[in-house]
Amino acid sequence: MTLSKSLPRRESIKLFWSPVNWTVRGRILCPGWRNSFPSALNFAVTQTDPHAEIIGIIDADCDVHPDFLRELIPAFADPQVAFVQTPQDYSDSKGDIFSESTYRGYKCFFEVSMPARNERNAIIFAGTMGLIRKSVLEEIGGWDEWCITEDGEASLRILKKGYQSLYINRAFGSGMMPINFEGLKKQRFRWCFGGIQILKKHWEALMPWAHWVDPTNKLTLAQRYYYLVGGLGWFSDVFNLLFAFFPVLGAVFNLFSSPVKVRPLTDTILTIPAVFLFLHILRFIWVLRNRLRVSIGMAVATMYNFFSLGWAVTLAWSSLLHVGYWLVRWC
């Protein structure tokens, strides 16, 4: 079943839809729905076979390996397993420094963060290339349509009910990355906006005392930690910007403030953020070098790619928190 948020352009019909039509059994066009993707997913669930037990989410541009279902379905033999996630891979990761550094940024999440989360049953259902148990999805009320990252939000509600998740670190298909920086910026904006939406909605369930307040909350301390840190992590970009600004501010103070008592104090205070920023950069490069086995040059390029999106990320959470909402139009 294929879902489309808009009618395809005439020139794209032969290029894109013809190969999809070889295997598709139905196509749902939903151009008028508010936040149409989760709405379309909920509608698609109602159109599946009543006997279907597992639902797979796959982006239409993804080339899926033929053994995808054969290898993953056995994981659902355990009735407690609610969803299974595999890495998202990309076929257009070669050719230029932008594509390769963007690709390494994606790989960092799926090669570093997700395996660590998997050890504590705290992974995120990342949507494409994932499978989810239909009965569990219906139990939680389907995809929440208020959230633009409905997949990650659904995984938190599922884990809150005590179900198990599984991450299999093997790619079973490859899709396409954003073709330029503008597309990457919009993608990161959406991810951040959705992540902060989840944090605003569920922050109370992630507190250490949440189980005492709500006995039905079955999240472990480790699960709360990973989801809380994951949500708060979107604020790190603004701190990176501030930390980079502090040394400049310190230089101004050194030039114009009294050299008697103020200067030594400001030197000490304003040096601390710069040290944290430097250590963060070293850690980022070390992770890329040791986990992804990339060169120092590629690690630096990936870091540059990552930090270049800091302003878009800052705009996302500031708009959601009603701080500088008008700036969102820039993104």
pLDDT at 265: 54
pLDDT at 326: 43
pLDDT at 94: 75
pLDDT at 10: 45
pTM of the entire structure? 0.84
CATH architecture of 34-232: Alpha-Beta Complex (3.90)
pLDDT at 222: 96
Domain ranges across the chain: 1-32, 34-232, 235-330
Average pLDDT per 10 consecutive residues for the chain, totaling 331 residues: 55 48 57 68 89 93 93 97 96 84 94 96 95 97 92 97 97 92 92 92 94 93 96 79 67 62 58 77 91 91 88 77 49 42
Distance CA 223, CA 187 (A): 25
pLDDT at 1: 60
Cα-based angle 5, 6, 10 (whole degrees, multiple of 5): 145
